Structure 1
Protein backbone atom coordinates (compact mmCIF):
# COMPACT_ATOMS: atom_id res chain seq x y z
CA UNK A 1 0.00 0.00 0.00
CA UNK A 2 2.82 2.42 0.89
CA UNK A 3 4.53 1.63 -2.43
CA UNK A 4 1.31 2.36 -4.38
CA UNK A 5 0.93 5.67 -2.56
CA UNK A 6 4.54 6.54 -3.34
CA UNK A 7 3.95 5.75 -7.04
CA UNK A 8 0.88 8.01 -7.07
CA UNK A 9 2.93 10.92 -5.78
CA UNK A 10 5.68 10.66 -8.35
CA UNK A 11 5.72 13.63 -10.71
CA UNK A 12 4.99 12.95 -14.35
CA UNK A 13 6.82 14.45 -17.33
CA UNK A 14 4.84 14.49 -20.58
CA UNK A 15 7.46 15.21 -23.24
CA UNK A 16 6.16 16.35 -26.60
CA UNK A 17 8.05 15.27 -29.73
CA UNK A 18 7.65 16.05 -33.42
CA UNK A 19 8.48 18.32 -36.31
CA UNK A 20 7.28 21.93 -36.60
CA UNK A 21 3.64 22.33 -37.56
CA UNK A 22 2.55 18.88 -36.38
CA UNK A 23 0.31 20.29 -33.66
CA UNK A 24 2.64 19.77 -30.68
CA UNK A 25 2.02 23.16 -29.11
CA UNK A 26 -1.75 23.03 -29.57
CA UNK A 27 -1.91 19.61 -27.95
CA UNK A 28 0.62 20.54 -25.23
CA UNK A 29 -1.39 23.62 -24.24
CA UNK A 30 -4.63 21.61 -24.19
CA UNK A 31 -3.07 18.86 -22.06
CA UNK A 32 -1.53 21.27 -19.56
CA UNK A 33 -4.84 23.11 -19.28
CA UNK A 34 -6.89 19.93 -18.87
CA UNK A 35 -4.52 18.36 -16.36
CA UNK A 36 -3.79 21.67 -14.61
CA UNK A 37 -0.01 21.17 -14.70
CA UNK A 38 2.77 23.56 -15.76
CA UNK A 39 3.77 23.82 -19.41
CA UNK A 40 7.37 24.56 -20.36
CA UNK A 41 7.56 25.61 -24.00
CA UNK A 42 10.95 25.77 -25.71
CA UNK A 43 9.58 28.42 -28.07
CA UNK A 44 9.05 30.78 -25.13
CA UNK A 45 12.76 30.57 -24.37
CA UNK A 46 13.81 30.71 -28.02
CA UNK A 47 11.62 33.76 -28.65
CA UNK A 48 13.46 35.58 -25.87
CA UNK A 49 16.77 35.16 -27.72
CA UNK A 50 15.70 37.28 -30.70
CA UNK A 51 18.18 40.05 -29.89
CA UNK A 52 21.00 37.48 -30.08
CA UNK A 53 20.00 36.15 -33.50
CA UNK A 54 23.28 37.26 -35.07
CA UNK A 55 24.95 34.53 -33.02
CA UNK A 56 25.07 30.90 -34.08
CA UNK A 57 21.59 29.47 -34.56
CA UNK A 58 22.65 26.11 -33.11
CA UNK A 59 24.12 27.87 -30.07
CA UNK A 60 20.80 29.60 -29.40
CA UNK A 61 18.93 26.33 -29.90
CA UNK A 62 21.21 24.56 -27.41
CA UNK A 63 20.81 27.46 -24.97
CA UNK A 64 17.02 27.18 -25.26
CA UNK A 65 17.16 23.47 -24.44
CA UNK A 66 19.47 24.09 -21.48
CA UNK A 67 17.01 26.65 -20.14
CA UNK A 68 14.01 24.31 -20.37
CA UNK A 69 15.97 21.50 -18.68
CA UNK A 70 16.81 23.81 -15.77
CA UNK A 71 13.23 25.07 -15.43
CA UNK A 72 11.93 21.49 -15.66
CA UNK A 73 14.38 20.32 -13.01
CA UNK A 74 13.16 22.98 -10.57
CA UNK A 75 9.50 22.05 -11.16
CA UNK A 76 10.20 18.33 -10.73
CA UNK A 77 12.13 18.89 -7.51
CA UNK A 78 9.03 20.72 -6.25
CA UNK A 79 7.09 17.53 -6.98
CA UNK A 80 5.12 19.01 -9.87
CA UNK A 81 4.14 17.13 -12.98
CA UNK A 82 4.64 19.02 -16.22
CA UNK A 83 4.37 19.10 -19.99
CA UNK A 84 7.51 19.94 -21.97
CA UNK A 85 6.86 21.24 -25.46
CA UNK A 86 9.94 20.84 -27.66
CA UNK A 87 10.74 18.88 -30.81
CA UNK A 88 12.84 16.39 -28.79
CA UNK A 89 14.67 15.98 -32.08
CA UNK A 90 17.82 14.27 -30.86
CA UNK A 91 18.51 11.27 -28.64
CA UNK A 92 20.71 13.51 -26.44
CA UNK A 93 17.57 15.52 -25.57
CA UNK A 94 15.81 12.35 -24.43
CA UNK A 95 18.89 11.32 -22.44
CA UNK A 96 18.81 14.65 -20.61
CA UNK A 97 15.11 14.19 -19.82
CA UNK A 98 15.74 10.65 -18.59
CA UNK A 99 18.44 11.97 -16.27
CA UNK A 100 16.20 14.78 -14.96
CA UNK A 101 13.30 12.40 -14.43
CA UNK A 102 15.46 9.85 -12.62
CA UNK A 103 17.01 12.45 -10.32
CA UNK A 104 13.54 13.69 -9.32
CA UNK A 105 11.95 10.23 -9.13
CA UNK A 106 9.56 11.23 -11.92
CA UNK A 107 7.87 9.14 -14.57
CA UNK A 108 8.47 10.08 -18.21
CA UNK A 109 6.04 9.63 -21.09
CA UNK A 110 6.65 10.71 -24.69
CA UNK A 111 3.87 12.03 -26.86
CA UNK A 112 4.97 12.22 -30.51
CA UNK A 113 2.85 14.30 -32.84
CA UNK A 114 2.80 13.38 -36.51
CA UNK A 115 0.77 14.74 -39.37
CA UNK A 116 0.07 11.86 -41.73
CA UNK A 117 -2.03 14.08 -43.99
CA UNK A 118 0.76 16.09 -45.64
CA UNK A 119 -1.62 18.61 -47.22
CA UNK A 120 -3.17 19.48 -43.84
CA UNK A 121 0.28 19.63 -42.26
CA UNK A 122 1.49 22.03 -44.94
CA UNK A 123 -1.64 24.18 -44.59
CA UNK A 124 -1.17 24.33 -40.82
CA UNK A 125 2.53 25.18 -41.09
CA UNK A 126 2.10 27.93 -43.66
CA UNK A 127 -1.03 29.35 -42.00
CA UNK A 128 0.37 29.82 -38.51
CA UNK A 129 1.78 33.02 -37.10
CA UNK A 130 5.29 33.63 -38.40
CA UNK A 131 8.25 33.41 -36.05
CA UNK A 132 11.87 34.25 -36.81
CA UNK A 133 13.12 30.81 -35.73
CA UNK A 134 10.44 28.54 -37.21
CA UNK A 135 10.28 27.38 -40.83
CA UNK A 136 7.96 29.84 -42.62
CA UNK A 137 7.26 27.60 -45.62
CA UNK A 138 6.95 23.96 -46.57
CA UNK A 139 10.22 24.18 -48.50
CA UNK A 140 12.03 25.47 -45.40
CA UNK A 141 10.54 22.66 -43.32
CA UNK A 142 11.70 20.07 -45.86
CA UNK A 143 15.19 21.57 -45.70
CA UNK A 144 15.13 21.44 -41.89
CA UNK A 145 13.97 17.81 -41.80
CA UNK A 146 16.58 16.83 -44.39
CA UNK A 147 19.23 18.51 -42.22
CA UNK A 148 18.28 16.22 -39.33
CA UNK A 149 19.62 13.30 -41.44
CA UNK A 150 17.24 10.90 -39.72
CA UNK A 151 18.42 11.66 -36.18
CA UNK A 152 14.84 12.43 -35.08
CA UNK A 153 13.92 8.77 -35.45
CA UNK A 154 15.51 7.03 -32.48
CA UNK A 155 14.67 4.22 -30.08
CA UNK A 156 13.20 5.52 -26.81
CA UNK A 157 13.85 2.23 -25.00
CA UNK A 158 11.29 1.39 -22.34
CA UNK A 159 9.90 4.92 -22.06
CA UNK A 160 6.15 4.79 -22.72
CA UNK A 161 5.48 6.50 -26.05
CA UNK A 162 2.30 7.36 -27.87
CA UNK A 163 2.24 8.52 -31.49
CA UNK A 164 -0.68 10.79 -32.34
CA UNK A 165 -1.82 11.69 -35.86
CA UNK A 166 -2.89 15.30 -35.38
CA UNK A 167 -4.42 15.42 -38.86
CA UNK A 168 -6.68 12.39 -38.42
CA UNK A 169 -10.13 13.12 -39.89
CA UNK A 170 -12.94 13.98 -37.47
CA UNK A 171 -10.67 13.95 -34.41
CA UNK A 172 -10.52 17.21 -32.46
CA UNK A 173 -8.15 18.42 -29.77
CA UNK A 174 -10.49 17.31 -26.96
CA UNK A 175 -10.52 13.73 -28.32
CA UNK A 176 -6.73 13.75 -28.68
CA UNK A 177 -6.34 14.98 -25.10
CA UNK A 178 -8.66 12.24 -23.82
CA UNK A 179 -6.74 9.56 -25.74
CA UNK A 180 -3.47 10.83 -24.23
CA UNK A 181 -4.96 10.86 -20.72
CA UNK A 182 -6.20 7.30 -21.23
CA UNK A 183 -2.77 6.21 -22.51
CA UNK A 184 -0.96 7.74 -19.55
CA UNK A 185 -3.40 6.16 -17.11
CA UNK A 186 -2.87 2.76 -18.76
CA UNK A 187 0.94 2.86 -18.74
CA UNK A 188 1.52 4.69 -15.45
CA UNK A 189 -1.32 3.20 -13.44
CA UNK A 190 -2.81 6.61 -12.79
CA UNK A 191 -1.78 10.20 -12.40
CA UNK A 192 -0.04 11.60 -9.37
CA UNK A 193 -2.55 12.83 -6.79
CA UNK A 194 -1.95 16.48 -7.77
CA UNK A 195 -3.17 15.82 -11.31
CA UNK A 196 -6.89 15.36 -11.98
CA UNK A 197 -7.53 12.35 -14.20
CA UNK A 198 -10.45 12.80 -16.57
CA UNK A 199 -10.76 9.15 -17.51
Structure 2
Protein backbone atom coordinates (compact mmCIF):
# COMPACT_ATOMS: atom_id res chain seq x y z
CA UNK A 1 0.00 0.00 0.00
CA UNK A 2 1.03 3.59 -0.61
CA UNK A 3 -0.60 6.79 0.56
CA UNK A 4 -0.57 9.66 3.02
CA UNK A 5 -2.11 9.37 6.50
CA UNK A 6 -5.90 9.19 6.55
CA UNK A 7 -6.26 8.14 2.91
CA UNK A 8 -7.84 4.79 3.77
CA UNK A 9 -4.92 2.56 2.86
CA UNK A 10 -5.14 0.57 6.10
CA UNK A 11 -8.82 -0.18 5.47
CA UNK A 12 -7.98 -1.48 2.00
CA UNK A 13 -4.93 -3.38 3.29
CA UNK A 14 -6.90 -5.11 6.04
CA UNK A 15 -9.67 -6.05 3.62
CA UNK A 16 -7.15 -7.45 1.14
CA UNK A 17 -5.30 -9.50 3.74
CA UNK A 18 -8.57 -10.94 5.08
CA UNK A 19 -9.91 -11.66 1.61
CA UNK A 20 -6.74 -13.17 0.16
CA UNK A 21 -5.80 -14.96 3.39
CA UNK A 22 -2.24 -13.66 3.42
CA UNK A 23 -0.16 -11.93 6.13
CA UNK A 24 -0.55 -8.19 6.72
CA UNK A 25 2.43 -6.22 8.00
CA UNK A 26 1.63 -2.68 9.13
CA UNK A 27 4.47 -0.24 9.69
CA UNK A 28 2.36 1.59 12.28
CA UNK A 29 2.27 -1.52 14.48
CA UNK A 30 6.03 -1.22 14.84
CA UNK A 31 6.05 2.57 15.12
CA UNK A 32 3.38 2.47 17.84
CA UNK A 33 5.66 0.32 19.99
CA UNK A 34 8.48 2.89 19.91
CA UNK A 35 6.65 5.38 22.12
CA UNK A 36 8.95 4.88 25.16
CA UNK A 37 12.02 5.53 22.98
CA UNK A 38 10.41 8.63 21.48
CA UNK A 39 9.83 10.04 24.97
CA UNK A 40 13.42 9.39 26.04
CA UNK A 41 15.01 10.71 22.85
CA UNK A 42 12.93 13.55 21.44
CA UNK A 43 15.24 14.00 18.43
CA UNK A 44 14.91 10.39 17.30
CA UNK A 45 11.63 10.61 15.36
CA UNK A 46 13.23 10.06 11.94
CA UNK A 47 15.48 7.31 13.27
CA UNK A 48 12.54 5.44 14.80
CA UNK A 49 10.49 5.86 11.64
CA UNK A 50 13.33 4.46 9.54
CA UNK A 51 13.74 1.62 12.03
CA UNK A 52 10.02 0.83 11.73
CA UNK A 53 10.32 0.55 7.95
CA UNK A 54 13.37 -1.68 8.30
CA UNK A 55 11.61 -3.99 10.77
CA UNK A 56 8.54 -4.37 8.55
CA UNK A 57 10.61 -4.99 5.43
CA UNK A 58 12.66 -7.62 7.24
CA UNK A 59 9.49 -9.40 8.41
CA UNK A 60 8.08 -9.23 4.89
CA UNK A 61 11.26 -10.80 3.53
CA UNK A 62 10.87 -13.68 5.97
CA UNK A 63 7.31 -14.33 4.78
CA UNK A 64 8.39 -14.23 1.13
CA UNK A 65 11.23 -16.68 1.77
CA UNK A 66 8.65 -19.03 3.27
CA UNK A 67 6.76 -18.90 -0.02
CA UNK A 68 3.97 -16.65 1.26
CA UNK A 69 2.55 -13.56 -0.37
CA UNK A 70 2.24 -10.54 1.92
CA UNK A 71 0.48 -7.18 2.17
CA UNK A 72 2.70 -4.34 3.46
CA UNK A 73 0.84 -1.31 4.81
CA UNK A 74 3.02 1.81 4.81
CA UNK A 75 3.04 5.31 3.29
CA UNK A 76 5.84 4.26 0.90
CA UNK A 77 6.73 7.93 0.92
CA UNK A 78 10.20 7.75 -0.59
CA UNK A 79 11.72 6.18 -3.68
CA UNK A 80 14.25 4.44 -1.42
CA UNK A 81 11.37 2.47 0.11
CA UNK A 82 10.31 1.24 -3.33
CA UNK A 83 13.91 0.33 -4.14
CA UNK A 84 14.05 -1.74 -0.95
CA UNK A 85 10.88 -3.59 -1.98
CA UNK A 86 12.25 -4.25 -5.46
CA UNK A 87 15.42 -5.69 -3.91
CA UNK A 88 13.31 -7.87 -1.62
CA UNK A 89 11.36 -9.12 -4.60
CA UNK A 90 14.44 -9.95 -6.67
CA UNK A 91 16.14 -11.72 -3.75
CA UNK A 92 13.10 -13.89 -2.95
CA UNK A 93 11.62 -14.38 -6.41
CA UNK A 94 8.50 -12.40 -5.55
CA UNK A 95 6.57 -9.99 -7.78
CA UNK A 96 5.58 -6.52 -6.59
CA UNK A 97 2.23 -4.76 -7.01
CA UNK A 98 1.59 -1.28 -5.58
CA UNK A 99 -1.86 -0.01 -4.57
CA UNK A 100 -1.86 3.75 -3.99
CA UNK A 101 -4.70 5.47 -2.12
CA UNK A 102 -5.11 9.03 -3.36
CA UNK A 103 -8.39 10.74 -2.30
CA UNK A 104 -9.79 13.29 -4.75
CA UNK A 105 -12.23 14.81 -2.24
CA UNK A 106 -9.93 16.79 0.07
CA UNK A 107 -12.78 17.83 2.39
CA UNK A 108 -13.74 14.20 3.01
CA UNK A 109 -10.11 13.25 3.49
CA UNK A 110 -9.75 16.01 6.07
CA UNK A 111 -12.93 14.92 7.87
CA UNK A 112 -11.74 11.33 8.14
CA UNK A 113 -8.26 12.28 9.29
CA UNK A 114 -9.46 14.62 12.03
CA UNK A 115 -12.12 12.17 13.18
CA UNK A 116 -9.44 9.52 13.52
CA UNK A 117 -7.17 11.95 15.35
CA UNK A 118 -9.92 12.75 17.86
CA UNK A 119 -10.50 9.05 18.55
CA UNK A 120 -6.86 8.03 18.97
CA UNK A 121 -6.09 10.36 21.86
CA UNK A 122 -2.89 9.22 23.57
CA UNK A 123 -3.13 5.59 22.49
CA UNK A 124 -1.82 3.83 19.41
CA UNK A 125 -1.33 6.17 16.51
CA UNK A 126 0.18 8.90 18.72
CA UNK A 127 2.76 9.59 15.99
CA UNK A 128 0.18 10.19 13.23
CA UNK A 129 -1.08 13.65 12.24
CA UNK A 130 -4.25 14.35 14.23
CA UNK A 131 -5.30 17.55 12.46
CA UNK A 132 -5.19 18.88 8.92
CA UNK A 133 -2.49 21.35 10.01
CA UNK A 134 -0.40 18.43 11.25
CA UNK A 135 -0.76 16.74 7.87
CA UNK A 136 0.14 19.90 5.97
CA UNK A 137 3.34 20.23 7.99
CA UNK A 138 4.17 16.59 7.32
CA UNK A 139 3.64 16.94 3.57
CA UNK A 140 5.67 20.15 3.51
CA UNK A 141 8.51 18.26 5.17
CA UNK A 142 8.43 15.65 2.42
CA UNK A 143 9.33 18.34 -0.09
CA UNK A 144 7.59 16.53 -2.92
CA UNK A 145 9.59 13.33 -2.50
CA UNK A 146 6.40 11.23 -2.32
CA UNK A 147 5.84 11.68 -6.07
CA UNK A 148 8.36 9.52 -7.89
CA UNK A 149 8.68 7.28 -10.93
CA UNK A 150 7.52 3.67 -10.49
CA UNK A 151 9.05 2.48 -13.73
CA UNK A 152 7.43 -0.77 -14.83
CA UNK A 153 6.11 -1.68 -11.36
CA UNK A 154 2.36 -2.43 -11.63
CA UNK A 155 0.50 0.32 -9.75
CA UNK A 156 -3.19 1.04 -9.24
CA UNK A 157 -4.30 4.46 -7.93
CA UNK A 158 -7.56 4.29 -5.96
CA UNK A 159 -9.80 7.22 -5.01
CA UNK A 160 -10.82 6.24 -1.49
CA UNK A 161 -13.27 9.14 -1.19
CA UNK A 162 -15.35 7.96 -4.15
CA UNK A 163 -19.02 7.29 -3.35
CA UNK A 164 -18.75 3.52 -3.70
CA UNK A 165 -18.81 0.73 -1.09
CA UNK A 166 -15.46 -0.42 0.28
CA UNK A 167 -16.24 -3.88 -1.11
CA UNK A 168 -16.38 -2.46 -4.63
CA UNK A 169 -13.03 -0.73 -4.17
CA UNK A 170 -11.49 -3.92 -2.83
CA UNK A 171 -12.99 -5.88 -5.73
CA UNK A 172 -11.33 -3.57 -8.26
CA UNK A 173 -8.04 -3.88 -6.39
CA UNK A 174 -8.25 -7.69 -6.38
CA UNK A 175 -9.00 -7.69 -10.11
CA UNK A 176 -5.94 -5.53 -10.71
CA UNK A 177 -3.72 -7.75 -8.56
CA UNK A 178 -5.07 -10.87 -10.25
CA UNK A 179 -4.31 -9.43 -13.68
CA UNK A 180 -0.66 -9.05 -12.68
CA UNK A 181 -0.29 -12.34 -10.80
CA UNK A 182 -1.43 -14.85 -13.39
CA UNK A 183 -5.02 -14.89 -12.17
CA UNK A 184 -4.08 -16.41 -8.84
CA UNK A 185 -6.91 -14.74 -6.92
CA UNK A 186 -9.52 -14.56 -9.67
CA UNK A 187 -12.04 -16.69 -7.71
CA UNK A 188 -12.19 -14.42 -4.65
CA UNK A 189 -15.65 -13.97 -3.14
CA UNK A 190 -15.91 -10.35 -2.02
CA UNK A 191 -19.22 -10.75 -0.19
CA UNK A 192 -18.13 -13.72 1.91
CA UNK A 193 -14.57 -12.47 2.34
CA UNK A 194 -13.15 -15.81 1.25
CA UNK A 195 -10.63 -16.65 -1.42
CA UNK A 196 -9.77 -19.85 -3.24
CA UNK A 197 -6.77 -19.98 -5.59
CA UNK A 198 -7.48 -21.01 -9.18
CA UNK A 199 -7.22 -24.73 -9.94
CA UNK A 200 -4.12 -24.25 -12.06
CA UNK A 201 -2.31 -22.33 -9.29
CA UNK A 202 -2.94 -24.71 -6.39
CA UNK A 203 0.13 -26.34 -4.90
CA UNK A 204 3.29 -24.51 -5.90
CA UNK A 205 2.05 -20.94 -6.37
CA UNK A 206 4.04 -17.80 -7.13
CA UNK A 207 4.37 -15.36 -4.26
CA UNK A 208 3.71 -11.64 -4.44
CA UNK A 209 4.51 -8.56 -2.43
CA UNK A 210 1.47 -6.28 -2.32
CA UNK A 211 2.51 -2.82 -1.16
TM-score normalized by structure 1? 0.87
**In structure 2, distance between residues paired with 1:166 and 1:33:** 19
Picking from 178, 182, 189, the partner of 1:185 is: 178
| Secondary structure, aligned partner of 2:109 | helix
Within the alignment, does 1:22 sit opposite 2:7 as a pair?
A: yes
**CA contact 1:36–1:196 (8 Å) conserved in 2:** no
**In structure 2, distance between residues paired with 1:196 and 1:107:** 20
Extract structure 1 runs of 4+ deviating beyond 6 A: none
**In structure 1, distance between residues paired with 2:197 and 2:108:** 31
Partner residue of 2:69? 81
Q: Extract unaligned runs of 5+ from structure 2.
A: 187-194, 199-211
**In structure 2, distance between residues paired with 1:191 and 1:21:** 30
Partner residue of 1:149? 143
Query: What's the offset of the Cα at 1:146?
Result: 1.0
Query: What's the offset of the Cα at 1:186?
Result: 1.6
Partner residue of 1:7? none
**In structure 2, distance between residues paired with 1:196 and 1:162:** 23
| Secondary structure, aligned partner of 2:157 | strand
Q: 1:181 to 1:111 in 2, by over 3 A?
A: same
Within the alignment, does 1:118 sit opposite 2:103 as a pair?
A: no
Partner residue of 1:38? 23
**In structure 1, distance between residues paired with 2:185 and 2:177:** 11
| Secondary structure, aligned partner of 1:188 | coil
Q: Extract unaligned runs of 5+ from structure 1.
A: 1-15
**In structure 1, distance between residues paired with 2:76 and 2:170:** 20
**In structure 2, distance between residues paired with 1:52 and 1:133:** 12
Count of aligned pairs between the two proteins: 181
**In structure 2, distance between residues paired with 1:183 and 1:66:** 27
**In structure 2, distance between residues paired with 1:28 and 1:167:** 16
Partner residue of 2:93? 105
Q: 1:115 to 1:59 in 2, by over 3 A?
A: same
**In structure 2, distance between residues paired with 1:145 and 1:103:** 32
| Secondary structure, aligned partner of 1:132 | coil
Query: What's the offset of the Cα at 1:196?
Result: 3.0
Query: What's the offset of the Cα at 1:188?
Result: 2.5
